[in-house]
C-alpha cells in the first residue's frame, strides 16, 4: 500500500458562536485554495488568525481528517506565494495530512482505517453532507443522528444524515468509515426500503486501489451494485459549486479494480425497485454477459450448419470439441447409457435447449440449431420423436426448460404428448437433476437451470422476461396454434 501524500486536502470553515456552537459555512479544498486570488485566500487567512486570538471571532478552519485547527501558510513558488493549509505545531491528534508530525509507517497505516479520531471525522462528514443538502433548493429539512420513527412496524433507525426534499423521497446517508457489521448493513437496507427512504452509503478514507478492501466496504459496494460512493476532495468541491450533494462514484471493473471516479448528483442515480441506488449496475451486466458469451460461441459454430446439418455427422462439430471436453472434465461422465455417443448426445441436447430458449426469448422466431427453421412446437416434436437422437432420456430437462420460460402452458397439447411418450419409452431411466447434463445446462442457460443465478437475477431485478412463465402474454398466444 502506498502511503498517502501528506498534505491537507480539505478544510472545514466554521463560525463559532458565543455559546460554543459551530456552524459549518463551507468546506474548502486545497486545490480550490490554490485557485483563489491572493486577496480571497488572504481574507480567510486573516479571519483564521482572528479566531485564533478570540474563539468567538473570525473563522475556524479545521482539518477534515483530524479536526485540529489549521492556518493558511504560504510557500514560495517563483515570484509568487502560494497558499496551503497547515496544522499548528502543537496539534495533538495524529493526522495523515499533517506534514509536521513524525509518524512511523505503522502509525500512518493504522490511521488510514481505524484511527481513534474516527468518530469525530464521522461527525464532520455528516455535517458536510447536511450543509451540501441545505444548499439544494429542494431541501426541506434534515437531521443528524436523530431517531426516525418508522411508518411501518418494527424499530426505527438513527440515520447518520436524513434529508427531506420536496418532490423526492427522503434520503438517508450512512457515513461508513470502517466498522459497520454486515447484519446492520443488510438491516438498514431492508428497513429503509420498506419505509420508502433512499439509502446511500457514503464512504471515506479508503484506499480503493488496495488489494483487499475491508469486508464491510466490499459489502456496501456490492449492495450499491459495484458503485462506491465516496465523499472526497473533488466531491466536496463540486458540492459547494453546484449547491447540492455531489459524490464521487467509483465504478467497479470486471477485474475487481475501480474506474476513475465520476462526480454524481442524487438526480443522476437509478433507484431500483429492490436494493440501493447506483450510477451503473456493475453486478447484473457481467452476470447476464457470462451466459451470453457461452451461447454466442455455440451460435457461432452451429449457425454455420443450415438446417441442423451437423447432426448427420453424428459427432461434435470441431469448434465445440474443447467446450464439451471441458464440461466432461468439470462435471464428470454424462448420464447416458450409450457411452460411445455421449458427446454427440450432449451436443444435441445443448443445441436443442438453445433452440428452445431462443423461441422463448423471441416468440415467432423459427431459429433452430437442430432442424430446419420451424415454429416452436414443431421444433420440439421433431426432435422428441427421433429416437436415434437420444433426447428421450432428457425429457425431464426439456420439460423443466419449457416450464421455466414463458413457453410454459402456451404450447399446444402435442408437445405434452411427445414428452409423455418419451417418459413412457424410458421407463424411468431419465437423466435426473443431480447428473452432469444438468450442470452443463446450468452453464449454458443459468437463467433457467442455475437456481443460485436465478435467485440473484430475481433479487437484482434483471431476470430476463423470457424466463418468467407468462401464460397470459398476448405475444405468445400464437405459439398455441398447431402447425401443419
Interface residues with Zn ion (CB under 5 A) are 63, 65-66, 95, 97
Measured from the CB atom, the residue of 8 and 197 that comes closer to Zn ion is: 8
Shortest distance, position 6 Cβ to Zn ion, whole Å = 9
Distance CA 458, CA 405 (A): 14
Measured from the CB atom, the residue of 65 and 233 that comes closer to Zn ion is: 65
Shortest distance, position 94 Cβ to Zn ion, whole Å = 9
199 Cβ contact partners less than 8 Å away, ≥ 6 residues apart: 171, 172, 174, 188, 189, 192, 193, 276, 277
Nearest to 164 by CA among 173, 155, 153: 173
Distance CA 8, CA 29 (A): 8
156 Cβ contact partners less than 8 Å away, ≥ 6 residues apart: 147, 148, 149, 150
Distance CA 311, CA 372 (A): 12
Measured from the CB atom, the residue of 95 and 246 that comes closer to Zn ion is: 95
CB-based contact 378:480 (threshold 8 Å): no
Distance CA 463, CA 465 (A): 6
Shortest distance, position 70 Cβ to Zn ion, whole Å = 7
- Beta strands per DSSP E along 64-160: 70-77, 80-87, 139-144
Measured from the CB atom, the residue of 30 and 95 that comes closer to Zn ion is: 95
Measured from the CB atom, the residue of 95 and 348 that comes closer to Zn ion is: 95
Measured from the CB atom, the residue of 63 and 177 that comes closer to Zn ion is: 63
Shortest distance, position 216 Cβ to Zn ion, whole Å = 24
Measured from the CB atom, the residue of 6 and 366 that comes closer to Zn ion is: 6
Shortest distance, position 95 Cβ to Zn ion, whole Å = 3
Distance CA 33, CA 304 (A): 64
CB-based contact 70:28 (threshold 8 Å): no
Backbone phi and psi for residue 199, each to the nearest 5 degrees, phi listed first:
-110, 130
Shortest distance, position 98 Cβ to Zn ion, whole Å = 5
Nearest to 86 by CA among 192, 188, 6, 165: 6
Shortest distance, position 203 Cβ to Zn ion, whole Å = 19
Helices marked H in 115-213? 118-134, 182-195
Widest distance between CA atoms in the chain: 97
Measured from the CB atom, the residue of 64 and 279 that comes closer to Zn ion is: 64
Q: What is each CA distance from 437 to 292, 342, 360, in whole angstroms? A: 19, 10, 21
Shortest distance, position 10 Cβ to Zn ion, whole Å = 10
Measured from the CB atom, the residue of 95 and 431 that comes closer to Zn ion is: 95
DSSP secondary structure string for all residues of 197-244 = -EEEEEE-S--TTSSS--HHHHHHHHHTTSEEEE--HHHHHHHHHHTS
Shortest distance, position 443 Cβ to Zn ion, whole Å = 52
Amino acid at each position: 500500500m502506498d502511503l498517502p501524500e501528506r498534505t491537507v486536502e480539505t478544510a472545514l470553515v466554521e463560525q463559532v458562536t458565543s455559546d460554543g456552537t459551530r456552524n459549518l459555512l463551507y468546506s474548502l479544498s486545497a486545490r480550490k485554495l490554490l485557485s483563489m486570488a491572493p486577496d480571497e485566500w488572504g481574507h480567510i487567512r486573516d479571519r483564521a488568525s482572528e479566531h485564533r486570538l478570540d474563539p468567538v471571532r473570525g473563522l475556524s478552519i479545521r482539518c477534515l481528517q483530524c479536526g485540529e485547527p489549521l492556518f493558511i501558510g504560504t510557500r514560495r513558488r517563483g515570484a509568487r506565494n502560494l497558499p496551503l493549509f497547515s496544522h499548528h505545531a502543537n496539534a495533538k491528534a495524529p493526522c495523515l495530512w499533517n506534514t509536521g508530525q513524525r509518524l512511523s509507517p505503522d502509525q500512518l497505516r493504522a490511521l488510514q482505517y481505524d484511527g481513534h479520531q474516527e468518530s469525530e471525522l464521522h461527525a464532520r462528514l455528516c455535517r458536510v453532507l447536511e450543509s451540501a443538502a441545505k444548499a439544494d433548493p429542494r431541501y426541506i429539512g434534515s437531521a443528524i443522528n436523530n431517531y426516525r420513527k418508522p411508518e411501518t412496524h418494527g424499530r426505527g433507525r438513527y440515520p447518520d444524515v436524513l434529508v427531506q426534499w420536496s418532490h423526492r423521497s427522503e434520503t438517508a446517508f450512512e457515513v461508513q468509515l470502517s466498522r459497520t457489521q454486515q447484519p446492520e448493513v443488510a438491516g438498514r437496507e431492508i428497513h429503509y426500503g420498506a419505509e420508502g427512504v433512499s439509502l446511500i452509503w457514503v464512504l471515506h478514507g479508503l484506499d480503493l486501489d488496495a488489494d483487499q478492501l475491508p469486508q464491510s466496504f466490499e459489502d456496501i459496494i456490492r449492495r450499491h451494485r459495484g458503485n462506491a460512493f465516496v465523499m472526497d476532495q473533488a466531491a466536496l468541491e463540486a458540492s459547494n459549486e453546484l449547491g447540492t450533494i455531489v459524490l464521487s462514484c467509483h465504478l467497479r471493473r470486471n477485474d475487481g479494480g475501480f474506474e476513475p471516479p465520476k462526480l454524481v448528483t442524487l438526480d443522476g442515480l437509478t433507484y431500483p425497485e429492490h436494493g440501493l441506488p447506483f450510477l451503473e449496475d456493475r453486478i447484473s451486466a457481467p452476470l447476464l454477459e457470462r451466459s451470453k458469451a457461452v451461447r454466442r460461441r455455440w451460435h457461432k459454430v452451429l449457425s454455420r450448419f443450415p438446417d441442423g446439418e451437423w447432426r448427420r455427422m453424428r459427432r461434435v462439430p470441431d469448434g465445440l470439441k474443447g467446450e464439451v471436453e471441458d464440461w466432461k472434465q468439470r462435471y464428470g461422465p454424462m448420464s447416458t447409457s450409450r457411452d460411445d455417443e455421449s458427446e454427440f448426445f450432449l451436443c444435441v441436447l445443448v443445441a436443442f435447449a438453445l433452440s428452445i430458449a431462443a423461441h422463448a426469448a423471441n416468440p415467432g422466431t423459427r431459429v433452430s440449431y437442430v432442424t430446419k427453421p420451424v415454429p416452436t412446437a414443431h421444433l420440439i416434436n421433431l426432435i422428441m420423436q427421433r429416437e436415434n437422437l437420444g433426447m428421450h432420456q432428457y425429457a425431464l430437462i426439456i420439460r423443466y426448460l419449457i416450464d421455466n420460460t414463458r413457453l410454459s402452458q402456451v404450447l399446444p397439447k402435442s408437445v405434452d404428448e411427445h414428452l409423455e411418450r418419451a417418459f413412457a419409452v424410458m421407463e424411468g431411466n431419465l437423466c435426473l437433476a443431480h447428473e452432469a447434463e444438468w450442470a452443463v445446462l446450468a452453464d449454458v442457460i443459468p437463467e433457467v437451470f442455475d437456481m443460485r443465478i436465478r435467485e440473484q437475477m430475481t433479487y437484482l431485478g434483471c431476470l430476463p422476461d423470457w424466463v418468467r412463465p407468462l401464460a397470459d402474454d398476448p405475444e405468445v398466444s400464437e405459439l398455441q396454434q398447431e402447425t401443419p
